[in-house]
Structure 1
Amino acid sequence: MEQLLQMSLQKDPTMGQAQPSMLQMLRFPAVRHLFICLIPLWFASNFSIYGLAMSLQSFEINIYMIQVLFAIADFSFCFLGFLAIKSLRRRPTQMAFFLLSGILPSGPCHDTPGPVIPPHHDGHARKRLHGWLHKLLSVYTGELYPTVMWQRGQSTTMILANIGSTLSPLVGMTAELHSSLPFLIYGAVPVAACPTIVLLPETMGQPLPYTEQDLERRWKEKLGQRQEEQQMVLLQAS
């Protein structure tokens, strides 16, 4: 048993060593970049999904029956979502879900329902989209953080992102001004956070980084490629 443990330690030099704290990891520009970009995405996801979940009673429909129906359909749609991230890549899929979950009309009452979603059901459709977005974002985030800091990075990101789920019930008070105002806010936040995805790398087909040094090396290589491309564009323009 001791020999097996020693062999595993030799294969993985980081085992048995004290792992750096999150503050120490944030000293790396690449890790700091990921952390700053992921916070608004998770904030928007938690903010909207918890806000819509607490507003189901305003849709004038049996919330228990609609939850059963969407729970049955949830598995198939999640399967389609995972197929999308494998065929359409991670970033385009994430952007599509953020935009759809934000621009899909919803509210307690509609005089002009959406072109596809029937009245009183579009808000539930948006809630399901946020649920799928939450799952896909979890997969994408797990591929961005290096392995040695995956658990710590995920936990810290989720703790800060839960500020969104804490603030979301307060938006319900804006219904006193207009009944549809909370749902407009729940949709505007994901759309506002969507451009952040452009700043994140594509992980499809890429080897997962093991340490923060690996992530930092890839970050520098991509920056060097961008600088070379910009120089080539300037030379061609001149």
Structure 2
Amino acid sequence: MAFEELLDKVGGLGKFQILQMALILPSLMIVVCHSLLENFTAAVPGHRCWVHILDNATVSDNDTGILSPDVLLRLSIPVDSNLKPEKCRRFLHPQWQLLHLNGTLPNMTDLDTEPCVDGWVYDHSLFSSTIVTEWDLVCDQQSQKPLIQSLVMVGILVGGLIYGHLSDRFGRKLILRCCLLQLAISGTCTTFAPNIFIYCLLRFLSGCSIAVIITNNCFLIIEWTRSQSKGMVLTLIYCALSIGQMILGGLAFVFREWRTLQLVVSVPFFAFFLSSRWLVESSRWLIITNKPDEGLKELKMVAHRNGMKNVEETLNLEGLRATMQEELETAQARTTIFDLFRTPNLRKRIYLLSFVRFASTLPFFGIIVNLQHFGSNIFLFQVIFGALTISVRCLALYPLNNVGRRPTEMFFLFLVGLSILINMFVPQDMQTLRVILASVGIGCVAASHTCFSVHQSELLPTIVRAKAAGLDLLANRCAAALAPLLMTLVVYLPTLPWIIYGMCPIIAAPVLLLLPETRNLPLPDTIQDVENNKKFSRTVNEKDLCIKVTKF
């Protein structure tokens, strides 16, 4: 925690932090597109079986020219319980006797039908091409779509665990640059995937880098920011993610062919990889990992950029060692992921944070990967959800900084659960109300994620923060991978997935009371800081803050 003293000297929120964010935010806006890409590239359009007398261009006009396409469709495709053409079956032979029925419907179960053995005809009014239409992921193969979405989430999980450990060992910046390059290459190659197997493999590799790009970018700004400004900075970061949702909706509206859309959101990462060379490694991490010389160099550079002219002379190795003696002694021992569970306070925090993360992520992906459940205009929904989450996240900043981390997050989690549970009782034809309730849910879950991220960063020590983030991603991606799979439960009870989505955040809200409040407290740097559970008087902190501001 002594690093806060050094950060106050070089500037905890100045020109350097603004420039760092200017380099970080564009990549965050586009990376979120990759985690939600299957909303559009794997959209399921309207479809029906291919039938000979209607879709075969070689059939003579004299044979069926006197009959309209609607009549031919009626003769070839049975109707379902909603009197809509079946999507996955057709009559074995054209049922000509249906022409002589005057508005009465025969018993369709008495007529011979068969699966779509000759393929499907798709509605291309929304999308000219998706992976569903290209590889026929419908009917008996429809379960492959949620599996593909889950595979991306599994990739994010695996990447978070592996790269989280590597980030604590080799640095935030180096691993971030590797992930930017990996996403650029794998995302671009996905555009040219010849089959579903190659597509899944490349999307898995893309997933491995998505979450690390987000978390390491967050670390590179949060670990350079003073305690009083962390809430605002993380809110800006999450607003950038919401802007990314809006950008994806706009891009998907313009580029209706899935390969083009995939290419458009992948190529920019080559530019982000090149620009990332100007990012500055976390001095906090350098010092904690026993690299005080490099950490001191970065501190002097930050002081120069923030205009602290007289500070560089007073920053020296002796002063740094005196200020952070306890942290440097701790840095002599290399940490592993098992250190997260060896001490009681940190272990408790890890378990509770993982549970809350899982419970709050499940409804988010339950809504966001099922946009078609709320209506047909998924482009507009994506933009609306993005705009709404920006506004709600900004509104959450005031109670987050003035009321506290825990009560603010609990409030939003309760709203998430209630909005989803109420939506179950709204009829499908009341689309406006369904979209409003879904928007409230997605906005509140986004606000709760922002509050959670601020709270989590203030509970975990710097020396194992990336490793802990990897475990957080484990809970996050387990929920994200499970969310689309829960939709398979509709065969047992149509509302069952939504009951689970709604109850999870309501159950998680009271769990937050078991975690300490961290408003206006400095980041812990070592595991010992967490175990000592140092108490800082808020009265003293606010007094010190006033003195510093007045002096400045």
Deviation at 1:195, TM superposition (A): 2.0
Deviation at 1:10, TM superposition (A): 5.4
Could you say which residue in structure 1 is the equivalent of 2:398?
83
Q: Which runs of 5+ in 1 are unaligned?
A: 222-238
Deviation sequence 1:131-174 (CA, Å, 0-9, x none):
22222211110011123222221222222332111111121012
Q: Return the alpha-carbon distance in structure 1 between the equivalents of residues 424 and 371 of structure 2.
A: 9
- SS of alignment partner, residue 17 of structure 1: coil
Amino acid at match of 2:449: H
Alpha-carbon spacing, 1:90–1:153, altered in 2? closer, same or farther (3 Å): same
Partner of 1:193: 508
2:453 corresponds to which of 138, 151, 159: 138
* Partner residue in 1 for 2:443: 128
1:107-134 CA-to-partner distances (Å, cap 9, x unmatched) read 477149xxxx834421232122212222
Counterpart in 2 of 1:48? 363
* SS of match in other structure, 2:520: coil
Question: Which region of structure 1 is more displaced relative to structure 2, 42-51 or 203-212?
Answer: 203-212
Whole-Å separation in 1 of the counterparts to 2:504 and 2:388: 26
Q: Deviations over 1:40-72 (max 9, x none)?
A: 111112222112111110112411112212323
Per the alignment, residue 152 of structure 1 pairs with 467
Runs (4+) of structure 1 moved beyond 6 Å? none
State the one-letter code of the partner of 2:413: F
- The 1-side partners of 2:346 and 2:387 are apart by 38
Determine if the alignment matches structure 1 residue 216 to structure 2 residue 531: yes
Q: State the match for 1:203 in structure 2.
A: 518
Q: CA deviation at 1:175?
A: 1.8
Structure 2 residue 483 is the aligned partner of structure 1 residue 171: no
Counterpart contact for 1:81–1:132, Cα < 8 Å: yes
**Conservation of the 8 A alpha-carbon contact between 2:404 and 2:519:** yes
**Greater relative contact order (CA < 8 Å, ≥ 6 in sequence):** 1
Q: Is the 8 A contact 1:78 1:132 kept in 2?
A: yes
Does the 8 Å contact 1:106/1:183 carry over to 2?
no
Judge conservation of contact 2:461–2:523 (CA < 8 Å) in 1: yes
Taking the aligned partners of 2:444 and 2:391, their CA distance within structure 1 comes to 13
Distance 2:506 2:444 in 1: 13
Who is 1:225 aligned against? Answer: none
Secondary structure, counterpart of 1:118 in structure 2 = helix
- Residue 415 (structure 2) pairs with residue 103 (structure 1): no
Query: What corresponds to 1:224 in structure 2?
Result: none
- Mean Cα deviation higher: 12-21 or 91-100: 12-21
Distance of 2:438 and 2:354 partners within structure 1: 25
Q: CA RMSD in A?
A: 2.8
Q: SS of 2:433's equivalent?
A: coil
> Is contact 2:389-2:444 (8 Å) kept?
no
8 Å contact from structure 1 (residues 41, 193) kept in 2: yes
Supply the distance in 2 between the matched residues of 1:197 and 1:2 (Cα, whole angstroms): 39
* Equivalent residue runs for 1:29-44 within 5 Å: 29-44=344-359
Deviation at 1:9?
5.0
* TM-score, L = length of structure 2: 0.36
Is the CA contact 2:426–2:433 (under 8 Å) kept in the aligned structure 1?
no
Please say if residues 108 and 179 of structure 1, whose CA atoms lie closer than 8 Å, have aligned partners that are also in contact: no
- Tell me, yes or no, if structure 1 residue 92 matches structure 2 residue 407: yes
Q: Report the 3-state secondary structure (helix = DSSP H, G, I; strand = E; otherwise coil) of the residue aligned with 1:19.
A: coil
> Which structure has the larger Rg over C-alpha atoms?
2
Aligned length: 217
After superposition, what is the alpha-carbon deviation per residue over 1:181-225, rounded to whole angstroms, capped at 9, x for unaligned?
Answer: 221210111112222101000111333322211211128x8xxxx
Kindly state the Cα deviation for residue 177 of structure 1 after the two structures are TM-superposed.
3.0
Distance verdict in 2 for CA 1:59–1:2, change over 3 Å: closer
